[in-house]
A and B are shown apart, each in its own frame.
Chain A
Amino acid sequence: MRWSFSGPFACAAENESVLDGGTASRFSFHLNISALRRMKRLLPFVLILAVAALAIGGGAALYRARRETVFAPIPNEKADANPGAIPPHFRGAARAPVVLEEFGDLQCPPCAMLAVLLKKFEEENRSRLRVVFRHFPLAMHKHAVEAARAAEAAGAQGKFWEMADLLYENQPKWSKEETVTATFEGFAQKIGLDLARFKVDREDNQLLGRIGLDNQRGISMGVTSTPTLFINNQRVPQQFMTDQGLRDAIANAANGKPPFPAP
């Protein structure tokens, strides 16, 4: 056996031996500097490809997971209640242990105040809370149905919550207007909706039907005013409709306890 070194990282082992009747077998192993250099030049491309694969794979997995949250059914549906519009509008984790269902009217000022509070709760309970919105437009509010229609038409383009947020934020202004059609179209443009489609969808009977279905669910659950909340299908008593009361109820439900203490 003969070993030869031709560089700091390069060595060659040459094994010459007579194995069978004088036939010479030669094994050579080369790990020289030029091979290392070739590998080194390939390394950045390997890294880049790995990051590209990770980003695409991760993005696809995330897309599937997020899509699931959009279409997952609501657990703990009240068996005897009218199911309401399917799928309902909701935010939050698909398998959250706490489902907070709101029956709201987009022209109702306390609903607008509650919307701010609910966002805070969503941020505090990301994986634990799912907030569902049900339309319950009240006859006393002149533009409530039109606001609900606008939100549904935005929902048809995947932007229900963006429209609902805008409607709540600007509620004091548009509530006083005589006609709100142009104002709502302005909102639609602001959130990047296809305006022509928005105008058509706003009059669509199927989307209008969703508002009626939510309303029927509310009636079947004994809702008479807005906002009315249910946490895991248990109606939130009036005395718990406070920042702390709701926070405690969500925490209790998340820990598998009844949301409210027994009366």
Chain B
Amino acid sequence: MKSNTASSSQTQPPVSRGRHFIYIAAAVLSLVGLSETTYLTATHLAGAHVTCVTAANCSQVLGSVYASFRGLPLAGLGALGYFAVFSFSTLAAFRFPRASTLLALTVGLMFLTTLWLLYLQAFVLHAFCDYCLFSAALIFLLSGLLIATPAPRQSS
């Protein structure tokens, strides 16, 4: 029994309470993003109208040429991204090796995509979509959380 515990702690470095909290927060945030992008994807595929919450011209953004990529709704790709973030943060919270690296890579990629989409809204389409802004806020929050993640504790 003792030898079992010892070998396990060698493969799974201990996760500090701060890191653990951040991974759980990231998983919760990604679930919010997943819900939003799933709604947008289903609405896009059904050809239905998206009800805007605050901005009246969000259909100008969601109906633009940039709203799909090679025939796939961009929101669908966002949903995949959020699902990946949920998966990696869950695995990281359970101390799976490399999960935190994959999480950082996915969030980094989503962060860059968000910057590009914000640029398109501000300077190309001249219209903002509240769903996109909400998603951007989620990504910024996720990025901030990961930047604030304390360094892994060294196992002795």
Interface residues of A (CB under 8 A from B): 6-7, 10, 32-34, 37, 40-41, 43-44, 47-48, 51-52, 55, 58-60, 62-63, 66-67, 69-70, 91-92, 116, 119-120, 122-123, 126, 158-159, 161-162, 165-166, 169, 189-192
A211, B67: Cα distance in complex, Å = 29
The answer, yes or no, to whether B140 is at the interface (CB within 8 Å) is no
Q: Are A66 and B51 in contact (CB under 8 A)?
A: no
| CB pairs A–B below 8 angstroms (29 shown) | A6-B1, A32-B1, A33-B1, A44-B90, A44-B91, A44-B94, A51-B31, A51-B34, A55-B34, A55-B83, A58-B35, A62-B42, A63-B42, A66-B42, A69-B46, A116-B56, A119-B56, A120-B56, A122-B51, A123-B52, A123-B56, A159-B63, A161-B59, A165-B57, A169-B57, A191-B60, A192-B63, A192-B66, A192-B67
Interface residues of B (CB under 8 A from A): 1, 4-5, 8, 31, 34-35, 38-39, 41-43, 45-49, 51-53, 56-57, 59-60, 63-68, 79, 83, 86-87, 90-91, 93-94, 96
Q: Closest chain B residue to A43 by CB distance?
A: B94
A15, B151: Cα distance in complex, Å = 50
What are the residues of chain A within 8 A of B59 when measuring CB–CB? 161-162, 165
CB < 8 Å A-B pair total: 95
Q: Which of B35, B48, B79 contacts A67 (CB under 8 A)?
A: B48
What are the residues of chain A within 8 A of B64 when measuring CB–CB? 190-192
What are the residues of chain B within 8 A of A58 when measuring CB–CB? 35, 38
Q: Which of A34, A51, A120, A189 contacts B65 (CB under 8 A)?
A: A189
A67, B39: Cα distance in complex, Å = 13
Shortest CB-to-CB span from B35 to chain A, Å, is 8
Q: Are A192 and B68 in contact (CB under 8 A)?
A: yes
Q: Closest chain B residue to A154 by CB distance?
A: B63
What are the residues of chain A within 8 A of B63 when measuring CB–CB? 159, 162, 191-192
What are the residues of chain A within 8 A of B68 when measuring CB–CB? 192
What are the residues of chain A within 8 A of B43 when measuring CB–CB? 62, 66
